[in-house]
């Protein structure tokens, strides 16, 4: 029997279910035969990164990634991971915490729950140091 661990390090946030209204993503979800009330945050992030992010203009959002602590219904992180120096572009080197926070908030903004503002997301973004395991 084995157990795998992985670090979750970077700059981002935990995407808590109350932050989002997945009914606002119904058109995306239904293209995968999913309904908003039956879709978890991890599944939503998979679709977002498969269907939305590739069509966005170049910028910080393309350096973001998502993961969970283990099972897909565990906490889901949306963050900028650290990269090795030889893996990054000049654009990555020039990223600021503010630019990353704005990219995260901008990506989630169309799907925010009523009463949650883009500024609320920006305020939640910070350093992440956690571990996942399965």
Tokens of 118: 């883009």
**pLDDT value of position 70:** 74
Whether the full predicted model's pTM is greater than 0.85, yes or no, is yes
Of the pLDDT bands very low, low, confident and very high (cuts 50, 70, 90), residue 133 is confident
Of the pLDDT bands very low, low, confident and very high (cuts 50, 70, 90), residue 99 is very high
Question: Which residues have CB under 8 Å from 120's CB, separation 6+?
Answer: 19
**pLDDT value of position 86:** 87
**pLDDT value of position 12:** 97
Count of CB atoms within 10 A of residue 74's CB? 16
CA 101, CA 42: separation in Å to the nearest integer?
20
Q: What confidence tens digit (pLDDT) does each residue in 4-63 have?
A: 777 889 999 999 999 999 999 999 999 999 999 889 999 999 999 999 999 999 899 999
**pLDDT value of position 71:** 63
Q: What confidence tens digit (pLDDT) does each residue in 73-97 have?
A: 578 999 999 988 888 889 998 999 9
């Amino acid at each position: 029997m084995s157990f795998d661990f992985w670090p979750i390090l970077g700059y981002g946030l935990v995407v808590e279910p109350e932050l989002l209204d997945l009914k606002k993503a119904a058109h995306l979800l239904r293209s995968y035969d999913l309904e908003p009330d039956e879709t978890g945050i991890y599944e939503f992030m998979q679709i977002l990164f498969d269907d939305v992010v590739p069509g966005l203009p170049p910028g910080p959002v393309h350096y973001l990634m998502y993961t969970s602590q283990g099972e897909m219904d565990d906490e889901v992180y949306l963050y900028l991971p650290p990269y090795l120096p030889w893996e990054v572009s000049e654009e990555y080197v020039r990223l600021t915490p503010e630019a990353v926070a704005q990219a995260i908030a901008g990506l989630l903004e169309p799907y925010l729950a009523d009463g949650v503002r883009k500024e609320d997301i920006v305020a939640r973004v910070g350093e992440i140091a956690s571990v996942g395991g399965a």
